[in-house]
Structure 1
Amino acid sequence: MPPKKSSGRGARDLRVKVKSARGRKLSSTLWLERQLNDPYVKRAQADGYRGRAAYKILEIDDKYRFLVPGARIVDLGCAPGGWCQVAVKRVNALGEKTDKRVGTVLGVDLQEVETIAGAEIHQLDFMEDDADDKVKEWLGGQADVVMSDMAAASSGHKQTDHLRIIALCEAAAYFAFDVLSPGGTFVAKVLAGGAEGDLQKLLKQKFEKVSNMKPPASRSDSSEKFVVATGFRG
């Protein structure tokens, strides 16, 4: 559930305003102010998640139910680790639910990521030729879910950024084709902007069902959405 919202005068009174410091760009000040007033940021701190993005995968999974006990999960571009934290709990990677199957969570990222209890983290470029073989070796078989919250570095040009993230998402999709087991699920972030049509067509050829979702945790001023492809044909 999204955090409860305050309304009226109380909401205005509680809002934190950040003064622009000398040498700090206005954009940085506005970003900091937004962070300080974001209920998901505060909730993540209280719940022990590494970032507000954790609630995006929580809300997506609440609808589509792919993070199930016993599932084998691959999180591409997993830094800082919030999605892995959610997956560990939902697939029972720590075996805390003794009556449920124990799952596996494997995170990969170009940068080093701080250890996460219940997850196996590897520093790896998933676009390397043998990356799929390495991942299947680490998993001990094929994956049930490949998920990605990756975004290409922003150029400041909306259409360029859109094309970059679509290309990144397509690369993640082809990786998923190589490691997913039949019936598996692929989840990835995209930016709305027109070029995602070819990606949708590709996924519809490979999966039984392809859906799109903008979870409540996704900021309203963001053009991001998430594609959820289920029932991999193998």
Structure 2
Amino acid sequence: MEKTMTTKTPTRRLKVKLASNKKRTNSQRAWLERQLNDPYVHQAKADGYRSRAAYKLIEIDQKYRILKAGQKVIDLGACPGGWTQVAVERVKSQTNEKAKVIGVDLTEMSEIPGATVFQGDFTEDSTQERLIDLLDGKANVILSDMAAPACGMTDVDHIRIMALIEEAFNFAENVLAPGGAFVAKVLRGGTEADLLKRLKTAFQKVTHFKPPASRKDSAEMYVVGIGFRG
């Protein structure tokens, strides 16, 4: 049974502070307090999403209307599955025979009703070939929430994530249907000029967007390409 799409805006709760615990480091305590005080975390649990990241895609879709019933969607960097869950709801892949949602990640994922998910390295040819086989046609939307492990050096982290975005876009150019959409995570500063130029050539509209669900202290934002020219 499909879960009804949510458009709720998480509300603030009374702030929780943890008691001192010698078994936790300061960073562990800070992370746990942030989780306990994050309204999106609480809303995700209430709505049955696997992660608060689901609301990032919900907010992107509310603004750009990229997900529609009957579409085929590929979700790159899908684990733990919040974006995949939202895609399933919005393209109605549990009830619409034309719709299809495929998710892949380096980390193993548990099954999601209405989607096909598997473990694999997207940068490997074999993984991309499997995605194409499962797709069985052209995709309408390519989503990428992929991110390389951060090393703390801004320039290096930027280069790593840009390499993933470029790989995702190269793949999208081959599998997207005309009119399709592309969404990928970037870091503060946006998409590099050369890739942005390619995106603007390939899509009718290209923009950057930071969803409200993206934490204010996070450097992430998303590049959104709409209207693939084919």
Question: TM-score, normalised to structure 2's length?
Answer: 0.91
- Offset of 1:130 from its aligned partner? 4.2
Name the SS of the counterpart of 2:125 in structure 1. Answer: coil
1:47 Cα deviation from its structure 2 partner? 0.4
1:124 Cα offset (Å): 2.1
Counterpart check, 1:29 vs 2:29: yes
Structure 2 residue 55 is the aligned partner of structure 1 residue 59: no
- Structure 1 residue ranges without an equivalent (≥5): 6-10
Q: Is the contact made by 1:169 and 1:189 (CA closer than 8 Å) also made in structure 2?
A: yes
1-side partners of 2:147 and 2:25: how far apart? 23
Q: AA paired with 2:174?
A: D
The alignment partner of 1:229 has SS state of strand
Tell me, yes or no, if the aligned pair for 2:191 and 2:223 is still in contact at 8 Å.
no
Which residue identity is paired with 1:202? R
1: CA distance, partners of 2:191 / 2:203: 20
Runs of 5+ unmatched residues, structure 2: 1-7
Identity of matched residues, %: 54
Match of residue 5 from structure 2: none
In structure 1, the partner of 2:9 is 2
Please state how far the C-alpha of 1:21 moved relative to its aligned partner. Answer: 2.5
Q: Structure 2: how far apart are the matches of 1:198 and 1:16?
A: 45
* Aligned positions of 1:1-234 closer than 5 A: 1-5=8-12, 14-95=14-95, 102-193=98-189, 196-234=192-230
Superposed CA RMSD:
1.7
Q: Distance in 2 between matches of 1:148 and 1:104?
A: 16
Task: Give the superposition deviation at 1:141.
Answer: 0.6
The size of the alignment, in residue pairs, is 223
- In the aligned structure 2, how far is the partner of 1:203 from the partner of 1:66? 16
Aligned residue number for residue 8 of structure 1: none
Amino acid of the structure 2 residue aligned with 1:3: P
Q: Deviations over 1:47-88 (max 9, x none)?
A: 000000000000000111111000000000110000000010
TM-score, normalised relative to structure 1: 0.89
